[in-house]
Amino acid sequence: QQQVKQSPQSLIVQKGGISIINCAYENTAFDYFPWYQQFPGKGPALLIAIRPDVSEKKEGRFTISFNKSAKQFSLHIMDSQPGDSATYFCAASRGGYGQNFVFGPGTRLSVLP
Amino acid sequence: GAGVSQTPSNKVTEKGKYVELRCDPISGHTALYWYRQSLGQGPEFLIYFQGTGAADDSGLPNDRFFAVRPEGSVSTLKIQRTERGDSAVYLCASSAYTVQGPQYFGPGTRLLVL
């Protein structure tokens, strides 16, 4: 129940295209869902996050769509750029203070110029 | 301001040796986390500190792993009798003590046990 599933494992997109990464969870107690971006040799960096009281959140080219009934959420990267090439991790945590994150296995995104 | 820093950036040791990994969190962040990331995997939770105390150590794989945060700021992850399977990137993150908030990660320490 603590697992977060993520797909696809890898993704290749042309510059200017839309990148879509999907995640699913089982634990209905999860109520905070961040996405992290990680470049080789670096730590994960927060990209965008959502709580289940909204179905969508947009920040610049990045949008999270959240489906509470299906226990699924996805990251959409509009107008994908070569600089977006990185590994993306979805994560989830339970309510309360200072809860640790459960991470998905990651999606390696390559944006071709 | 300064982010989370971790030292050393790389550590090579021999099987059976003892290692210490250090984390300096963002100033003012009371929550501190340690994660372990194996190649091609997402970070895996190890331990969480609130202030000086370990609020949740359920992710520590066995009693060879131990972490401290004596003054509520810097934390040290200690691994005794290292094994080749301990080779991974050890990530530290910190966050402000609020109900659900972002965690800010350091660059990690890459540990290689020969």
d(CA B110, CA B90): 6
The CATH number of the domain covering residues in B5-98+105-113: 2.60.40.10
For residue A101, the model assigns a pLDDT of 87
Band (A100; pLDDT cuts 50, 70, 90) = confident
Q: Which residues of A touch B39 (CB under 8 A)?
A: none
DSSP SS3 for A84: helix
Do you know the residue count of chain B? Answer: 114
For residue A99, the model assigns a pLDDT of 76
What are the residues of chain A with a beta carbon less than 8 Å away from any beta carbon of chain B? Answer: 6, 31-32, 34, 36, 41-46, 49, 51, 89, 91, 93, 95-106
Distances (CA, A) of A107 to A55, A76, A90, A111: 22, 13, 9, 13
Band (A96; pLDDT cuts 50, 70, 90) = low
Residue with tokens 């995104």: A109
Q: Which residues of A touch B41 (CB under 8 A)?
A: 105-106
Contact indicator for B15, B83 with CB cutoff of 8 Å: yes
Q: Please give the residue range of the domain that contains residue A86.
A: 4-112
Chain-chain contact of B59 with A98 (C-beta, under 8 angstroms): no
CATH number at residue A16: 2.60.40.10
Instruction: Look at residue A1 and tell me whether its pLDDT is greater than 70.
Output: no
Q: Higher pLDDT residue, A44 or B55?
A: A44
Check whether the bond before A82 is cis (ω within 30° of 0): no
**B5 CB within 8 Å of a chain A CB:** no
Over chain B (114 residues), the average pLDDT of each successive run of 10 is 91 98 95 94 94 91 96 96 97 84 93 97
For residue B102, the model assigns a pLDDT of 86
How high is the mean pLDDT of chain A? Answer: 93
For residue B57, the model assigns a pLDDT of 92
Among B29, B3, B16, smallest CA distance to B108 is for B3
Least CB-CB distance to A95: which of B56, B59, B100? Answer: B100
For residue A48, the model assigns a pLDDT of 95
Chain-chain contact of B56 with A100 (C-beta, under 8 angstroms): yes
Domain ranges of chain B: 5-98+105-113
Chain-chain contact of B42 with A105 (C-beta, under 8 angstroms): yes
Mutate to test the interface with B, among A32, A50, A100, A108 (most CBs of B within 10 A): A100
Contact indicator for A95, A26 with CB cutoff of 8 Å: no
